[in-house]
Structures are given as structure tokens and as C-alpha cells.
Structure 1
Amino acid sequence: MVRSHRIIDWDPEDRAAWEAGNRAVARRNLLWIVACDHVAFGVWTLWPVMALFMPRQVYGFSAADKFLLGATAALVAAVLRIPYSLGIATLGGRTWTMLSTAVLLVPTAATIWLMAHPGLPLWPYLACAALTGLGGANYAASMTNTNAFYPHRLKGSALGFNAGVGNLGVPTIQVVGLVVIAVAGPHQPYWVCGLYLVLLTVVTIGAARYLNNLDHATYAVRDLRLSLSESDAWLLALLYVGTFGSWIGFSFAFGQVLQINFIAAGQSHGQAALHAAEFAFVGPMLGSLSRIYGGRLADRHGGNRVTLVVFVLMVLTAGLLVGLSAGNNRVSGAATAVTLTGYIGSFIVLFILAGLGNGSVYKMIPSVFEARSYLLAVDEAERRRWSQATSGAVIGFVAAFGALGGVAINLALRQSYSTTGTPTSAYLIFLFFYVFAAVLTWARYVRRPTAPPLKTGAGRATLPE
């Protein structure tokens, strides 16, 4: 098996096989999947970091243009996540992960060239940002791959670990950017790209050596098409827009929002870039770590309950953010230290809550469709195949749909700054969506937590712990 990198028969629910060696195989694959995902997330966030190195007087790009770079990367990732998750099903986890990681060398190298040639129009930068979006598409494939390797009793923790450590790629590249700005100055972005060229090479070789292809497909196009007829696929996708969409959208925008405020307070571009970088990585880092814990909380208390609490707290925090922004608009001059502290604190809390919600929503997906599978009038083998395939398909779809939240957040902030010069109207949109998501979670997954009676007469299936 190790020589061919191919596993012919994999049943994670077989406890005897799991304890006899499958656990170690799953753990090895998970660790290298996460390593590739971690570096890919860093490449996905490359241009929001590069924006800190791009003073307007040198490159000629406004704040709205820089938000557009982030929105472009997020949009491409959202569009490609479903095809990427199908790539895992078609070529296998090892083969697809190798290819999808190696291709990220292209936009990383192209970024070095573009940063060395200021004065070019915006479109080449947008094209390169679009290619970095391939790194965000890797996420759906990695989660689908992990879902296939782990039993239901451990999916929350495994998926949470995969997503959490993978998501840490965002604050990691932001820390790298901070170190480069602090040590080499705000005019040396090439060190960031050079480091990621090395990391991409290392994890691609590691994927080739240590990952496995499962002989059976995780799911097929037919499974995806059938899963989209399930209303829960769309409802869970909306919840994921509020959690992951918030996390990635704020990750892309937080540094730029801070930089705008620091410049408005009278700092030079270099000072503002350094101070923004000092804070920008904290929120994504804490959100990534909380995602790991969110999966464990969901395993213990149920994904539906954890998700509801998360959205209620996000409503309160977004309300505070709206109040701070509206209050600052009524005061002439630069933002006060109290207001800036409130901004930073509110965003960090939203990052943490979004991370917890990421883990809990992903726990809900296999739980919902495992419960639904007991309603099918089929034998046990077909029931388990349907549950696994449908969960994998919905994971890919939800990951793609959720990334649209990152697009929406960057476009909302871009439009808000362009029309009013402040982010208040964008914060109001975020607040209204969190209210909607909280109501949806309570009405569909908490208020009525059980499925209809089973046709097989086996009792009732619990939804969706």
C-alpha cells in the first residue's frame, strides 16, 4: 500500500481495522493534507498582504482597488471549490493534492515580478490575484479528503483540525509580512514570496511521498447533483457564509481597514503598514485556533447548539461595531484611541466566533446526512455509501458557497468606503445577516431537532448533533 500510495478498501467505521493500523494511516494523511492546505491558504492571502507594501503614490492604487484584489481572490476560490472537490473524487487525494499545490508556484512567482514593476495598470494584478484564488479552492478538496478518511465519531475533531490548522496559513503569511516590514522595510515584499516558493516545493514533495489515493471515489457528479436537491445543503451553505465567509472576508480586509484608520490618524504609509500588520494577524490566528475547538465543542454538545450560540454572540458584537463606527462618524477629526481599540477588539471577537462556527457548521454536515440516510429504504452498505457520498458532496458545495461571504465582505467595504468614506453601512449589512443566520439556525436545527419517523421502523433519527 505504501509503495503504490493506493488504498483499495477503506472503511473508517470498522473499529477493529481502525485500531489495528487505519488510525495511523488516517493521521499521516491528515497531517500532510493540513500542511498543503496551510501553505495554500497563505498563497490565497498573498495579495491582501502585498497591499500593505503598495503605497498609492508608487503603485497608483486606491483603497477600493486593494479591496478588489482580495475580492477577486475570494471569488475565484468560491467558483473553483466544487471542481476541486470533484478532483479529489476523480484523481484521488494524493494525486490531486500534489497537482493543486504545485500550480501555486505560478502566481507566487508572478507576484514577485508584478511587485517589482509598479506603474502597471490594475488588470495584471487582478489576474495574478485570481490565480492565488486557486489556493483557497484547495480547502474544499482537503476537507472532502479528510471526511473520507475518518469515522463519524471523529469527523468533528478531524475536520476542525484540518480547517483550523489550514486556516492558520492566513495569519502565518501576515506574520511573515510583519517581520519583513519590521526588518527589511515596507519596500521589500520579495522575501515573503520567496519563502512561499520554498514552502510550496517542500509540501508538494511531502504530498507525493506520504499521501494515499483511496481506490473508491469520495463522491461523484451524480452525488453532487442529487445533494443539491436537499434543502439542508442550501441552508447549511448559508450558515457557512456567516461563519467561514466572515472569517476569510475579515482576514482579507482587516489589515486594510486598520491601515486606512492609521493613515487617517496622521501616520505615514510605512508606519501605518507596520502598525496594521502588528494587529492584522491576531484575529485570523485566534479564529483558526478557535475553529479546532469549535469542532470539539460540536462533537460534545451538538453542532446545532454551538452554531446558534455563535450567531447570537456575533449579532451582539456586530451591533457594537456599528455603534462604534456611527459614533466615530459624528466626531470630526481622526479616530480616537478608544474607537480604534473598540474596532480591533470587536473584530477579534468576531474572528473567534466565526472560527467556532466554522467548526460547528462542518460538524453538522455529516451528522445531518447520516441521520437522513436512515430514512432510505436500502441495505446497510448502500445507506453508508449514500451518507458518505452526500456528505462529501455537500462539504464541497458548502465550502464553495461559504467563500462567497469573503467576496461579499470585501465588496461591501469597498462600496461603503467609495460612497460614504466610512465602513458603517457595510457593518450594518453584516449585522442583519447574522440576525438572519441566528433565526435560521434556531428554526431549522434547534427548535425541531428530530427527523421524521424512519420508514424502516427503526425509531427516530436525531438531527443534527
Structure 2
Amino acid sequence: MTAVDAPPARPTGHPEPRTRRTGRWIEDWRPEEEAFWEETGRPVARRNLWVSIFAEHLGFSVWLIWSVSSAYLVASGFDFTAQELFVLIALPNLVGSLLRVPYTLAVPIFGGRNWTVVSALLLLIPSGLFVWAVQNPTTPYWVFCLIAATAGFGGGNFASSMANINFFYPAAKKGAALGLNAAGGNLGVALIQFGLPVVVGGAGVFGLVKASDGGIHLERAGWVYVALSLVAAALAFRFMDNLATAEAKPREQLSVLKQRHTWIMAFLYIGTFGSFIGYSAAMPLLIKLNFFVPTPAPTGTGINFAYYAFLGALVGSLTRPFGGWLADRFGGARVTLYVFFAMVAGTLGVLWTLTQLTPNPTADPAIALDNQAWFPAFLAFFLFVFAATGIGNGSTYRMIPTIWRTKALEACDGTEAGRTAAIGKATKSASAAIGIIGAVGAIGGFLIPMTFGAPWVADPVAAVRSAFLVFSAFYLVCAGVTWAVYLRRSVLVARFPSLAPAGV
């Protein structure tokens, strides 16, 4: 046994956990008890949280490595169309969303620490294959698609990390803890989009670092993440813990699929996180498509995406903990409602700037210079949307444990033992729901790039404008669902009386 060497007597209502014989397993974990939390739980939870943040951060970076590297493939000698590049950045998001379900189930089966080690080592596959593929211009496109799909391993890391951290913290602290954990992971998107152009020699850093004179070397980015994945696995092995109290059978976890709130929250999460990851993946190509032309050679004319593409993911990542904090204070549903209204306004703003541009299918440098004048407005509206998605990611994830905890407490017999058992069951169900909801929400990361430039899209520039109009309508629907299910006074009083007036 680790972390808790001599646990106090177990209060009535706490089931005896199964004793583990090997590994770093904590057998006694009671975060809802204030004395236990202050004396023992907080430092252990924080240690696991910070390592989890680092490992998840790398997962996001590997997941989105194609979002920025795809913009350099043509310059590296690969003859791919804009539609083919949008598919490359969409595939990791599809695979990552599908892997989130088994990654969530893995935490109670193998332990949070153990699975963090395994999931970090799995990142060696997409990183190593990336190194191999980008060094050979004769690599077929279908091989690139397969390799890009393996980057989905990084997307699965988010679900297992969030499910694991949810077990460590008491209900009152979950919003901030889950927000920090998710923000640290989301920052991996900003880091890869900012750092990869510098590492591979494709761009400098605002005059502080110059672009490489020896051409672009995409394989360097792959080697960096091969090394960092090994570091993450070592840190998890050394400093993280498994919780015996987090044990749950897959059938019990998957029972959340039968609950309507799982699917309602998944729908809302498509709007928040699906937008964040989808826009993050597509932003480098969107900037290049609308504000840059490759002539005159060799530098081209217009906006260099490498200087700005990372800003969206950075803003969305930094605002995510703020969303969790706001949800803790004012109620997640209320915050989420305002988020969707903000996303409607911001998306319409982006659409308005795009309608002011002159399409440049002939790669005319003069047109690129005319469009360049609209870029500040485009970027400002887009960053506003990213900020809203970050806040919405934090507020929706705060709603999940609150909903399950409230439903469990309302169904228990009211005794102390009944409340303790209900909270334990709700925590396990909420962790499973987090994985399922995260999986469905991440599908937005696949749908958005495909909407912008799927193989059957003849004109990606026109498709982008139509897509933003559709997205605005979708966010209005999400706002209506949030209000109807979680904020209407009659619904609130009938279904969540213990949470009024702040709501979920």
C-alpha cells in the first residue's frame, strides 16, 4: 500500500476495497471526508494531477501533429490537394474520438497510473511512423492516411486522464481540477502548432528565431515526441498512483449509455469541445487557404499561418479552467447557455469577414494582399469563438459529475451510509460518462475539417463559408437544448431541486 500507510477506521457505509498485492495501489480513498482530504488526499491528488496534465499534454500534441505539418507537406515535395490535406487532419480526430471509450474503460480495469504509462508508450507508434513517412516523398497518400489515423492514440489519452482525475477529487473541487487537467492537455494543441514550424525549420519566432536555411525537416518533430513520450511514461511510473476504490466493471460503466443525460451532454459537448478541436485542427489550413498564395516563389505572399494558427488553441486552453471556475460559482448550465450565444455571435463574425474576401483560385499575389487587410478582424472573431469554446468545455464537464451526483443522492434512502454509497456510485458513473461524452464530442473534430474540405467538396473556399453558417445554427440549437433540459424553472425544480437556484 502507498500514500496512505495507516488509514483510519473506515466509517460505516464504506465498502472494503479489494487488496492489491503489487504496484502503487491506494486502498483507502475518501476525498469527500474533509479531514481525510486536508491531511492526506490533497497532496496525493495534486501529484497525480500534475503528472496527468503532462502526459495528456503530449497526447494532444501528437493528436494534432498533422494539423500543422500537413500545411508543410506540399513544400516538402508531396503532391497533395487541399481536400486531401483536410482529410489528413480529420482522420486523427475520428480515431481519437472512437478510442475514448476503451480508454475510459481501461482506468478502472488497469488502474489510472498503469494506464497512463501504457497510453504514453503508445504515442511512440504515431511519432515513430511520422518520422519514417515524412522523409520519403514517394510515400503513398493512403499510407499517410493510415499513419495519421494512429495519431488518434493521443486523442484517447484525454478520456482516460479525465476519468482518472475525477476519482481523486471531491465534488466541490472537481470543476477546477478537471478544468486544469483538460487545459493542460488542450495546450498541447497550441504548443504543437507554435513549436513545430520552428523545430522543422519552416518559420521563425517573431524575429527571435530565424527559419532554417537548410529547408524543412518534418521528421524532427516526430523525434521530439518520441523522446517526450518516454519521459511521460517514466514520470507516470514513478509518481502516479492507482485507486482501488475506482474499480468498476465495463458493464457497469457502459450502463451510462442507457441514460438520456449522457446523450444530451454529449450533444452539447460536440458544440463546445468538438468545435475547439475541429477549429484547432483546421485553422492552419484555413489561414493558408484564404490569406496566402505560394507566389512569388520561394516565399509566397500573404499571411504566414505559423505565426497565428496556435493562438486559437492557446486561448481556448487558457479559458477552460475559467469555465470550470465559473461553473463552480454560478452553475454549469447557466454558463454553458451564455457560451453558446457567444459562439453564435463569434461564428457569424468569422463568416462576415470571410464574405469580404476575394477568392484567389489563380494564386494572384495582388488578391492575397487585398485579403490580408481583413485578417485582423478574422483572427479577432475566431479567437473570441475559441475563448467561448474553452469556457464551454470547462462548464459542460463540470455539469457531468453534478448531474450524476444529484440524481444518485435523490434516489438514496437519506441515511449517511446510503449517501456515501450513492456518492461512490455516482463518481464511477460520472467518470464513465465523461469518457462517453468526450468520445462523442470529439467527433466534431472530424466533422469540421471534413465540412471544410472533404474529397467531394469541389470548392473548399465556398464550403468554408457555408459551413460557418451551419455551425451558427447548430450552436443556437445547443443553447435551446441547454435551456430546455437544465435551466427551465419547472425542469430545475422537478429534477434538480437540491441544486436550485444555481443549477447544474
Q: 1:191/1:250 Cα in 2 relative to 1: closer, same or farther (>3 Å)?
A: same
Q: 1:42/1:347 Cα in 2 relative to 1: closer, same or farther (>3 Å)?
A: same
CA contact (8 A) 2:335 2:395 kept: yes
The equivalent residue for 1:438 is: 479
Matched, 1:381 2:420: yes
Q: CA deviation at 1:450?
A: 2.2
Q: Residues of 1 paired with 2:251 and 2:140: CA distance?
A: 43
Q: Residues of 2 paired with 1:297 and 1:417: CA distance?
A: 42
Mean Cα deviation higher: 171-180 or 282-291: 171-180
- Which of 25, 37, 43 is equivalent to 1:24? 43
TM-score, normalization by structure 2: 0.87
Q: Residues of 1 paired with 2:57 and 2:403: CA distance?
A: 28
For 1:155-194, what aligned pairs fall within 5 Å after superposition? Answer: 155-180=174-199, 181=202, 182=204, 183-184=211-212, 187-194=216-223
TM-score, normalization by structure 1: 0.94
For 1:22-421, what aligned pairs fall within 5 Å after superposition? Answer: 22-55=41-74, 58-180=77-199, 181=202, 182=204, 183-184=211-212, 187-264=216-293, 266=295, 268=297, 275-328=304-357, 333-334=367-368, 336-378=371-413, 379-415=418-454, 418-421=457-460
Amino acid across the alignment from 1:24: P
Q: Residues of 1 paired with 2:405 and 2:126: CA distance?
A: 39
Identity of aligned residues (%): 35
Amino acid across the alignment from 2:479: A
SS of the equivalent of 2:357 reads: helix
Root-mean-square deviation (Å): 2.3
CA contact (8 A) 1:243 1:354 kept: yes
SS of the equivalent of 2:245 reads: coil
SS of the equivalent of 1:60 reads: coil
Q: Residues of 2 paired with 1:249 and 1:453: CA distance?
A: 33
The equivalent residue for 1:447 is: 488
Amino acid across the alignment from 2:110: L
Q: CA deviation at 1:48?
A: 1.4
Matched, 1:15 2:56: no
SS of the equivalent of 1:438 reads: helix
SS of the equivalent of 1:61 reads: coil
Amino acid across the alignment from 1:368: I
Q: CA deviation at 1:231?
A: 1.2
Q: CA deviation at 1:278?
A: 0.6
Amino acid across the alignment from 1:12: P
Q: 1:453/1:275 Cα in 2 relative to 1: closer, same or farther (>3 Å)?
A: closer
Per-residue Cα deviation, 1:239-276 (whole angstroms, up to 9, x for no partner) = 11011101100111000111122333846575579810
Mean Cα deviation higher: 256-265 or 439-448: 256-265
Amino acid across the alignment from 1:75: L
Structure 1 unaligned regions, length at least 5: none
Per-residue Cα deviation, 1:1-49 (whole angstroms, up to 9, x for no partner) = 3484110021110110111121000000000011100011111111112
CA contact (8 A) 2:83 2:455 kept: no
Q: 1:263/1:363 Cα in 2 relative to 1: closer, same or farther (>3 Å)?
A: same
Amino acid across the alignment from 2:77: V
SS of the equivalent of 1:117 reads: coil
CA contact (8 A) 1:293 1:356 kept: yes
Q: CA deviation at 1:331?
A: 9.9
Mean Cα deviation higher: 413-422 or 267-276: 267-276
Mean Cα deviation higher: 136-145 or 230-239: 230-239
Q: Residues of 2 paired with 1:316 and 1:218: CA distance?
A: 44
Amino acid across the alignment from 2:160: A
Q: CA deviation at 1:424?
A: 0.7
Amino acid across the alignment from 1:102: L
The count of residues paired between Structure 1 and Structure 2 equals: 461
Mean Cα deviation higher: 316-325 or 18-27: 316-325
CA contact (8 A) 1:56 1:62 kept: no
The equivalent residue for 2:8 is: none
CA contact (8 A) 1:67 1:253 kept: yes
Q: Residues of 2 paired with 1:241 and 1:255: CA distance?
A: 21
Q: CA deviation at 1:433?
A: 0.8
Q: CA deviation at 1:452?
A: 2.9
Structure 2 unaligned regions, length at least 5: 4-22, 205-210, 362-366
Amino acid across the alignment from 2:71: L
Mean Cα deviation higher: 393-402 or 416-425: 416-425
Q: Residues of 1 paired with 2:495 and 2:334: CA distance?
A: 22
The equivalent residue for 2:7 is: none
SS of the equivalent of 1:252 reads: helix
Q: Residues of 2 paired with 1:453 and 1:431: CA distance?
A: 30
Amino acid across the alignment from 1:286: V
SS of the equivalent of 1:228 reads: helix
Amino acid across the alignment from 1:127: L
Q: Residues of 1 paired with 2:419 and 2:133: CA distance?
A: 56
Q: 1:412/1:297 Cα in 2 relative to 1: closer, same or farther (>3 Å)?
A: same
Amino acid across the alignment from 1:442: W
Per-residue Cα deviation, 1:124-172 (whole angstroms, up to 9, x for no partner) = 1111111111001110000000100000000000000000011101111
CA contact (8 A) 2:294 2:301 kept: no
Amino acid across the alignment from 1:337: Q
SS of the equivalent of 1:168 reads: helix
Q: Residues of 2 paired with 1:154 and 1:351: CA distance?
A: 25
CA contact (8 A) 1:144 1:396 kept: yes
